[in-house]
Structure 1
Amino acid sequence: MKKKYVICGVSNRALQMFIGPMINEFSKESEIVGLLDSDLYRFTICKQKYPLLKHVPTFSANQFETMIEQTKPDYVIVAGRDDTHVEYILKALRMQVNVITEKPMVTNAKDAYKVMQAEAESNASVIVTFNYRYSPFHRKIKEMILEGKVGRITSVDLNWYIDTFHGSSYFRRWNRDRKLSGGLSVHKSTHHFDLVNWWLDQKPEEVFAYGDLYYFGPEGELNPRKKASRFCGNCDDQRNCAYHKRWNPRSGSNSVRDDHLLAGVYEEIPYTNYRPDACIYDEEISIEDTYVAVVKYDGGSLLSYSINFSAPYEGYRLAINGTKGRIETTEFHEPSRIHFNYPEQTIDYFPLFGAKETIELVKNPGGHGGGDPILLEDLFLGPDPSRNYPILAGSEAGAYSIAIGEGVWRSVKEGKPIKIKELLFQQEKVTNHCTK
């Protein structure tokens, strides 16, 4: 029997990640019965792209309860702008409807706590789509840890690099406003910190971090000149902007296409009141572009983490150290944007006493290192029965990833370590104090 779904937030991510596959690959198992968004033009784009949705009813942002009452869905898929997630997740849980939410689940620890509490009081549940867990390399690392290959994990080193194309895109869009995104430490925590939390199967206790805005904002070293309210589409400084020139030839054609960002430095679809080509040097930018952090876990493991949002190439370097050995891997992302030769990704295992092993994995196609298609199978077909460890994430995993991300930028601003439980459960303390 088909399950019924409504989509809250008809974003590019919703179109690519959920709506398209549900129509093209999972139509026997799923049916889209409602679309909700604050921008009515997004419905037009969606139905032009997917004519089978022609007669699906649409609802404005304040019609959530009406949509649920009329369509009676089994699941609400939340895929709008990050700051809108919490409203629809909480409403769905109160109306006893299951939730599948894009990551980040919410944008701050306070809202994460609200979601956990609401889920505890509801008959419905929350699934957070941590697709990066599903990469074949990341699943293999999890399996090696479960097999005891590294023993008790003592430390993890994770260094992440976002290239000048992808990295600068966050500073052209709404992500650059912390009120809307939680900042990039929260946005990326849903990949990076969740991965480490999942591999370790431990809860973070404390984080200390440094960070700043080095590349973007009005003081960015490569800013052609200080000027307010510029947009890439009609900027007089285009030919003096190193970031624009790198990815946009003088002919005007796009030098790169990216499934995640659609095309060029700004999307081609003219959504209502949305300009994803704002200047990367604007004064309105309120987030950081570089972080270095240390996280302590309740099982004794330590994480050393860094991320740079303006690197020459995209990828990461990972090492996991334990009492029986070490795992290493290096991944280069987006080969179309790398201008040098680089090795294929492997996993190297170094036993503490013994010979090195190099593991070459069969890769699978799809976004996020091949993780998206396998996640979708788990969502719409049910978890793979041959997998002997949990991988689908709930609200608690979503909350702890966000708490680390918020802890990172708070530590940067406050210059002190941040206790994760104090950050995540601060609302519980306030509630208990008020009821005494």
Structure 2
Amino acid sequence: MKKFAVCGVSKRANGMFIKPMLEKFSHTSQLVALLDKDSKRFSVCKDEFPQILNVPEFRNHEFEKMVHETKPDCVIVTGRDDTHVEYIVRALEHDLDVITEKPMATTAADCKRIMDAEKESKGKVTVTFNYRYSPYHTKLKELILEGKVGRITSVDLNWYIDTYHGSSYFQRWNRKREFSGGLSIHKSSHHFDLVNWWLDQKPVEVFAFGALNYYGDQSEHNPVQKDGRYCATCDVKHQCSYYSRWNSRSNTIKVQDDHIDSDAKRRDTYTNYRPDQCIFDSEINIEDTYTATIKYDKGALLSYSINFSLPYEGYRLAINGTKGRLETTEFHAPSRVPFPVPEQTIEYFPLFGSKESIHVVKREGGHGGGDPVIQEDIFLGEDPTRPYKILSGSMDGAYAVTTGEAVWRSAKENKPFYIDELLNLQKVTTS
């Protein structure tokens, strides 16, 4: 029986880790501790899972006490992004394994701290990049491994976040770089990790542009320039296109999302947590639009873009190689797409030959069916029948975060950034 402590009792902690631990993996896993700076989060968690009523609670300054009293084997880190590094490093100093939500940290410097701590520890860091586990994404990996496209030369990845999901980042703590690292880290690190994994190559150099086009006090969609508003009490919310698109005057419109569908409940139960802050506040200091070109160590090139205010959500992907091309288009959250959408397929175009359409077997579960499978790998151990590595380590987490940092820094400073320089990798020899 492996004993787990959860640091950061967030919605993600409850749904992604605690729920499956209790309901599916109780024969291998035991929750022995909860740690958070906000005691109200313990109540929310235990109301949802009354079977853990007697699990000890610890405040954020009581990490040492928690380890001493409950003796966990592994620490699950699911708090706000900027808190990850301290819990990870402290766990490693106690030779404990760590499972952390992405992003592993919010800066390259903090990633370096984690890798150095892991090098001196008996513990191991696992980063839960669940996008790898989507059936479409694993199928793409398998096609690449089969040699369908040959040596990969370039990748085009354009990611679209709709006005519901995209605006949510600017209503919450994500809107401040000191908490999230910016969306090129908090969100795009998922995408950079996917490409790194598909290519089996390391990012070397990044040049990017970025801007705040839709949100912040200078937005052309801002009804009135005034700080400190909240959607729940705003007197001009029905003049706000973002609010009106997803909310009726009678509050009868119901919108579902993997990440934010229950945030309204948290507004009154978490301390100082408001998921309805105004998206036009002047304190917003991150970008909502990026384009980037990334060079890899074995010669591949990535052309990447992401936009956090679009009419629909999904992505378009093309992987080009010396023997052919793979293409796929996803429309995420079809209930929020205002037009009919085709079923996602993977199209294979050999360089010389006939096109093939591949229909992927789907799975239920969050993140395109990825969550249930990564949970099995976390709580049961990696599937020994899988012919490739999929669960991520600290080096994977570091490359994803550092690529995201290089993107926003390049956009700010108008110059290329080199990944190894940001990570200061000269003395790091383990992952």
- How would you bin the TM-score normalised by the shorter chain? over 0.9
Residue 380 of structure 2 corresponds to which residue in structure 1?
A: 381
Deviation at 1:394, TM superposition (A): 0.3
Residue 181 of structure 1 corresponds to which residue in structure 2?
A: 180
Residue 8 of structure 2 corresponds to which residue in structure 1?
A: 9
Relative distance call for 1:19 and 1:271 in structure 2 (3 A) is: same
Task: Within 5 Å, give how 1:30-429 maps onto structure 2.
Answer: 30-263=29-262, 267-425=266-424
Q: Secondary structure at the match of 1:76?
A: strand
Q: Secondary structure at the match of 1:225?
A: coil
Any idea what the Cα deviations from partners look like across 1:55-81, whole Å, max 9, x if unmatched? 000000000011011111111000000
Q: Which moved more, 1:296-305 or 1:273-282?
A: 273-282
Any idea what the Cα deviations from partners look like across 1:179-205, whole Å, max 9, x if unmatched? 000000001233100000000011100
Q: Secondary structure at the match of 1:206?
A: strand
Deviation at 1:159, TM superposition (A): 0.1
Amino acid at match of 2:58: F
Identity %: 63
Aligned residues: 428
Relative distance call for 1:25 and 1:426 in structure 2 (3 A) is: closer
Any idea what the Cα deviations from partners look like across 1:44-100, whole Å, max 9, x if unmatched? 111111011000000000000110111111110000000000000000000100000
Q: Secondary structure at the match of 2:98?
A: strand
Normalising by the residue count of structure 1, what TM-score does the alignment of the two structures yield?
0.96
- CA distance in 1: counterparts of 2:283 and 2:275, whole angstroms: 14
- CA distance in 1: counterparts of 2:254 and 2:50, whole angstroms: 30
Normalising by the residue count of structure 2, what TM-score does the alignment of the two structures yield?
0.97
Q: Secondary structure at the match of 2:403?
A: helix
Q: Secondary structure at the match of 1:232?
A: coil
- Please, which runs of 5 or more residues in structure 1 have no aligned partner? 430-436
Amino acid at match of 1:130: F
Deviation at 1:268, TM superposition (A): 4.9
Amino acid at match of 1:54: L
Compute the RMSD of aligned alpha carbons: 1.3
Q: Secondary structure at the match of 1:13?
A: helix
Contact 1:75 1:97 in 2 (8 A): yes
Contact 1:327 1:348 in 2 (8 A): yes
- CA distance in 1: counterparts of 2:21 and 2:367, whole angstroms: 18
Contact 2:258 2:367 in 1 (8 A): no
Deviation at 1:260, TM superposition (A): 1.6
- CA distance in 2: counterparts of 1:145 and 1:252, whole angstroms: 47
Q: Secondary structure at the match of 1:252?
A: coil
Deviation at 1:284, TM superposition (A): 0.4
- CA distance in 1: counterparts of 2:142 and 2:295, whole angstroms: 23
Deviation at 1:255, TM superposition (A): 2.7
Amino acid at match of 2:361: V
Contact 1:266 1:276 in 2 (8 A): no
- CA distance in 2: counterparts of 1:269 and 1:53, whole angstroms: 22
- Please, which runs of 5 or more residues in structure 2 have no aligned partner? none
Contact 1:165 1:265 in 2 (8 A): no
Residue 20 of structure 2 corresponds to which residue in structure 1?
A: 21
